[in-house]
Structures are given as structure tokens and as C-alpha cells.
Chains A and B, each alone.
Chain A
Amino acid sequence: MSNERKNPGQDQLVAETYKAVAHERVPDRLNERVLRLAADAGRTRHALARAWMRPAAWVATISLSFAIVLQLTQLPQSEPELVGIPSSEQSTASGHAALDDEIATEMRRETPLPDPLAEGSDAKRNGPSAPAVERQDSEAMHEFAPKDMSVLRDAENRARLQAGPDQPPAVPAVDVGGNLAQTDDAVVEEVALEEDIAMDSVAEFAAARSLAAVVENKEMAADSSCPASRRDNAETWYRCIEDLREQGMVDLADSEYEKFQKIFPEFVDPGSDK
């Protein structure tokens, strides 16, 4: 029990004897195996990190650049492609659809769509010109009107039969028993009615714009109530301010008077002497 304390040298003896006995070393193949395992694990981890980071960064950079370039180049070019006349190859490939597009482009070129703002401004300048517009539209509609009115008549008859004998026809503006010219006029009238509605809205818009312009002019006039010709001379400017005050625009006259005093601080009202 107390041998350890009694004979401490014996512990030393045990330790020394053990150290003399324990001389085994790890076999080289085992050392190699463990070190290879550790190296592979260490290399794999960092190689993976390296293998991921750089290509990922490159791919991200390239794709981002490509996307930006694509975005910048595609946006302006998309519009001309739509308007441009298709090439012979494209027209043969797309067949009738391309031909229709071409015809539509041609017609658009011959009869440009009316600009509501431009028409409105014209209306404002030249007075009411609705009949003229109507005339243009009716001419345009004549171009688009079906040449063979029998087709239209057949369609009308079919609609009437489906609706029943007591019901009014599906197309009320067209007289079934009328002649070809009457039917044509009815279609034109219908289109003209729609155009009238459209022109009403255009006229309303133009009126609103003119009202806005008047308000704007008033604001501008209020901003500089006295014209430049009257501002040249101190007396005329002062008279202008007096006039404004007499007209009841006291605030405007005061603000104008402040401006006046800044430029002519020593001006004495001739009326005050009196």
C-alpha cells in the first residue's frame, strides 16, 4: 500500500524496466497509410474550396457581363426588327403571315393613324373640323369595306334567323331589304358614329389642354404682372402697380411693389407730394 512512499526508487525501476521493454515502433506502411489519409483529407478540403471559388467567380463575372451586354444591345434593335420588311427567305418561310404583315405595313404607310393630340391642336387652331375628319375616315373606310356585299348580306340574314323573326336584326343600322349602296352607307355611318365618339373624346382632351394653357398663361402673367415695357421706367412701373391695386389684385401689387423697391429704392411717389 505504502510501497510507493517507502521505495520510490522501485517506481523508477518499474518505469525504466518498462522503457527498456517498450521499444516497438510503428511499421512504416502504417505510417505511410495514416499520413496519406491525412494528406488526402487536407488536400481534398482545400482543393475543393479552391476548385469551387475561382471557376464560380469566373462564371458569375462572365454571365453577368454577357447579360448586361445582351440587355444593352437587344433593346434598341428590337424595334427596327419589328418594322423592317422581312427578307425573301423569311417571307417564303413564314408564308401568308409575313405577306399579311407586309400589306399591313404598306397600308399603314399610306394612311397614317391620326394623332389625337395633333388633331386636337388643329381643331383648336382651325376651328371645328369634324366633318373633314369624318370625310377622311369615310374615305378610309371605303378602302376597307368589303367589295362583295353579298357576303355581308348573307351574314346579316343568318344573324336574323338565329335571333328569331320578332327580334330586330343583329346589325341594326343595316336595312336588309335595301340595296347595295344603302348597306354600304349604313356600315359607313356606323363607323362614323364610332369615330364621332372618338373625336368627342379628342375634342374634350383638346379643350382640357387649352384650358390648362390658359391657366398656365394666367400664372405666368401673375408671376410678372407688369409687362417689361412698363418696367423700364420707374413711373410707368409704379403706375402699373397702382393699376393692379385698383383692379383689386392687392397681393400681386404688393409683390410687384417689393420688386419695384428693390430696383428703385429712392423712388418717391409723385402723388404723395400732392
Chain B
Amino acid sequence: MAASAESMATAPAALCSGRELTYAPAMGHKPDDSALMLRYQDGDVSAFETLYRRHNDPLYRYLLRLCRHKDTAEDIFQDVWGKIVKARDSYRPTAKFTTFLYRVAHNCFIDHVRRNKRHANSAELDAELHSHPGEQPETLTERSLAKERLSRALLELPDEQRDAFLLHEEAGLNLDQIASVTGSNRETAKSRLRYAVNKLRAAIDENPERP
């Protein structure tokens, strides 16, 4: 994000100075995820790093909100990337890499839930997920309150609905891809996503002072 803003800021200067726009094709030529994975398959570790930097934060947030527990999310996060690394030889670019990555993550989460019952009674949500240190409740603005309510509502969503919403928002998957990742059909995925969005919107719109 910061890098792209920086390059955009320097672009006009380059145009004015008449320098050769050597960065222009590089900006347009963004290697595909599958191509990066295939390069890593051939032993190019830097390709994997690029791929990882592209997906690490969204995947982490997805797992963090899906698990509702930071340590568990980190464990699963590492497990997911370990499986991606192991599966590099058998990887075939038949589907979008993001779909492949989040399917692995989804399965890891399901395995973790089945294996570990900690997730079941993890109502002890990490306070840091929806806390605003340094701010007193009375100083919070309406926007901040909306964020707070959305965070709480997101954590209270059923797992399937939260999963669908996070896959849509964090991974940018469409309904078909969400259905593919979660192992359900398109209509189910659509229904889950709609319910999730409606509940979150209701939570944002909730105003106790409003009559």
C-alpha cells in the first residue's frame, strides 16, 4: 500500500523530468499468483516471498476472526503455509491460487475445531480485537462506535456466516469461490453471506439513543 502510494507520488515528477519510465512496465506486469507458485516449485524462494507478502495479512485476519483466538490463529496460519510449502510439488494452476490457499486454511480450521475443543468455549474473545486503547468510551465517535458494534457482531455471527463474510471481504472471493472453499453449493454460500451482511448492517445501524 505504502509502496504503491510512493510510486504514484513519484510518477509525476518522473514525467516532468523526462526520465525514462522504466518502472511503468513493472507496475503493469504483476506476476500471477500461480506463476509465482510455479516459480517456487522450481526452487525460486523469492517468488514464494512475493506470494506470501501478497496474502499473509488477509489470511491472518481471516483466521484471527474465524478462530477468535490469537494464538490459535497463529498456529493455524503457520500450519496453512507449511502445507502450501509441502504441496508445492503437486500444485497445478487449475484454480485461482487464492481459492486454493483459503481452502487449505478453511480445512485447517475445521481440523482444528474437531481436534481441539478450545474453540468451542472461546467466548473469551481477545479484547484487543475490538478494543481501542487510549480512548475512553465517552470520547469515542459515532464511527468508532460503529466499528465496535461491527466487531462484536462479527464475532457473534455463526461460524458458517462469519466464514462466508470473511472469505468475501478478506480474500475477495465471489460466491462460487466461497462455495468451493467451504464445500457447499452456491445458494448456500449466498444465503450465508446475505445473513451475515444483514446482521452486521443491523449492528452498525443500531443506535441506543435513537428512539
| A positions within 8 Å CB-CB of B | 3-4, 7, 10-11, 13-15, 17-22, 24-27, 30-31, 33-35, 37-39, 41-43, 45-46
Contact = CB atoms under 8 A, between A and B. Distances in A.
A20 B147 contact: yes
Contacts, number: 92
A42 B43 contact: yes
Interface residues of B, number: 38
Given A14-B200, A26-B60, 5 more contacts: A10-B205, A22-B61, A24-B60, A37-B81, A41-B86
A21 B86 CA distance: 33
Contacts of A33: 78
B150 A17 contact: yes
A14 B150 contact: yes
13 contacts: A18-B169, A18-B200, A21-B150, A22-B61, A24-B57, A24-B61, A27-B74, A34-B52, A34-B56, A37-B82, A38-B45, A42-B40, A43-B45
Residue picked from A21, A22, A31, A42, most chain B C-beta under 10 Å:
A22
B81 A38 contact: yes
B151 A11 contact: no
B101 interface: no
Given A35-B52, A37-B82, A11 B197 contact: yes
Given A17-B147, A17-B150, A43-B45, A38 B197 contact: no
B100 interface: no
Contact of A21 (B43, B81, B151, B194): B151
B85 interface: yes
